[in-house]
Structure 1
């Protein structure tokens, strides 16, 4: 237990946790988790004339398609860019849903906002979060870091579901989704600042890069030196005399 506490308080753990852990936390408060639990009620409260029972079918069907395209998008678009763009899509969708309820009488806009919100969530936010959590933590605390990130996301998801009606009571539908949109905008800005570019980098190189930024780089983790090169001694024999072998007759 003491060893785990020391790891949690070490700079080696806190640096990657400030990247992956904070993003995992912010994602749960952008309104997407609320949509998963209360999609039918939210769609009905939005005032749309479309059948509320059809909204989960349409939205989740498009969500699956967006998730399938996420792996293709990540091959061509930098992770930071696709994450921030997806976060802004979620923000615009939340603001659009709030505005449509308060100022507009549109039957199609709430459904379109929900669809675009889940597209942004499945296309760029969830895949990048999972990739970052599996990459930025060093090997010594990777299991602890990824497990803690998932635990924080799960607890935040449950709290969001429990507190939604309380927030809705105090802020109303317009204020609640404006808050969700504001958190999504902050998440996009934070992701643009904090997410490292790890394309075409091995896990060992990512660990060396983050350690070098923290000033913790050691002599055995110099860029460009392989593991085999570090293991092999530098005073290898270069001749038979040096190795102690007899000369050929």
Structure 2
């Protein structure tokens, strides 16, 4: 439902940009589009994760990056031939189509089951898998997982403010659960390493980077080629993630991104500091960003976003994915805004070498702390974090630890809300 409400925000923002009479309206349009982008990333990823089978989960989640890059490529391509006002008007078409088409697909089965709408959840799962598919085993596993995490079997009447306060207190009190805080810590670190490898700087400063790095090809054409290569790399990455274990893939991807950033820094160093020129040297910047684009989409890009949607337990997944998405977008903002300062501090070529060092740190983190969830169900992922961490309460002999239970029950939360 939330995804259906975001399309109109995109349309409003793009129309404000397209018909802006002054700078204030232009800023307003950009803010609205930014809000829509932030609101859409987590719900879309969570929905894809929850409706996918374990075998295809990461590949389908990586498909989100592919469509994102398709839009980026179209923006690069059309931006060379039409003005920014016309481009903003054209950008209203995708959210309009998505708003209409989303009306024909069901809600996530996991979401419906957590709300107690079991019949609708089973029908949605059957629709997603097909009429001839036997969903009984999958449905029972999902229902068991949801029942263990559902706080209440009966809903209580409460006003909106009290409900928000109750949900917030429940979230804060459950942060000490091992299947909550440990995935959150992993996501915070891995998203930091992902964004500060500097790919966002190439995407947002692509034209100026190609110009300053001395590319032998026209800067706009080089930018379009970069967008095309990254788009094709998304499909290659989706296939590779399905076939290869995630942990080695993430490590190799991080190392190659580090290599690409190092070569980009070398190209700038040779031309600006050493004064080396030539057609071959002019191709080195484009070759470097190609390495970064392909390597990033093969692991460092899609794997953290997949973790963001699948590591958290089902009862808090929407909350925690939203928080993780917010943190990730904050990292993107900081990466882009600090790029000129990083260049000023470390020199233009030193900035790319700095990002290359972050890539090395990402590889080290992947080798030491990153779990491999390939082929595991969402319940098995929660079990991994629960069983591998200290247990919050002493369990009875023979008691299952597959799913971490809330550390405080709903009645205790209600009492705290009433006191507030």
Task: Name the count of aligned residue pairs.
Answer: 223
Which residues of 2 match residues 1-249 of structure 1 at below 5 A? 1-103=168-270, 105=277, 106-216=281-391, 219-221=399-401
Q: 2:287 and 2:336 mapped to 1: Cα distance?
A: 22
SS of the equivalent of 1:108 reads: helix
SS of the equivalent of 2:388 reads: helix
Deviation by residue 1:32-78 (Cα, 9 ceiling, x = unmatched): 00011101111111122221111111011111111112221112210
Q: 1:94 and 1:174 mapped to 2: Cα distance?
A: 10
**5+ residue gaps, structure 2:** 1-167, 271-275, 404-420
Tell me if structure 1 keeps the 8 A contact 2:196–2:358: yes
Greater relative contact order, per chain length (Cα 8 Å cut-off, separation 6+): 1
Q: 1:144 and 1:136 mapped to 2: Cα distance?
A: 12
SS of the equivalent of 2:247 reads: helix
Q: 1:68 and 1:123 mapped to 2: Cα distance?
A: 9
Tell me if structure 2 keeps the 8 A contact 1:88–1:184: yes
Q: 2:179 and 2:379 mapped to 1: Cα distance?
A: 14
**5+ residue gaps, structure 1:** 224-249
Tell me if structure 1 keeps the 8 A contact 2:178–2:386: no
Tell me if structure 2 keeps the 8 A contact 1:91–1:184: yes
Tell me if structure 2 keeps the 8 A contact 1:24–1:150: no
Q: 1:200 and 1:68 mapped to 2: Cα distance?
A: 20
Higher Cα radius of gyration: 1
Deviation at 1:9, TM superposition (A): 4.8
Deviation by residue 1:150-205 (Cα, 9 ceiling, x = unmatched): 11111111122112112212221111111100001101110121111222211111
SS of the equivalent of 1:50 reads: coil
Q: 2:201 and 2:285 mapped to 1: Cα distance?
A: 15
Q: 2:367 and 2:384 mapped to 1: Cα distance?
A: 18
Q: 1:189 and 1:206 mapped to 2: Cα distance?
A: 22
Deviation at 1:222, TM superposition (A): 5.0
RMSD over equivalenced CA pairs, Å: 1.9
Q: 2:323 and 2:229 mapped to 1: Cα distance?
A: 30
Q: 1:222 and 1:93 mapped to 2: Cα distance?
A: 42
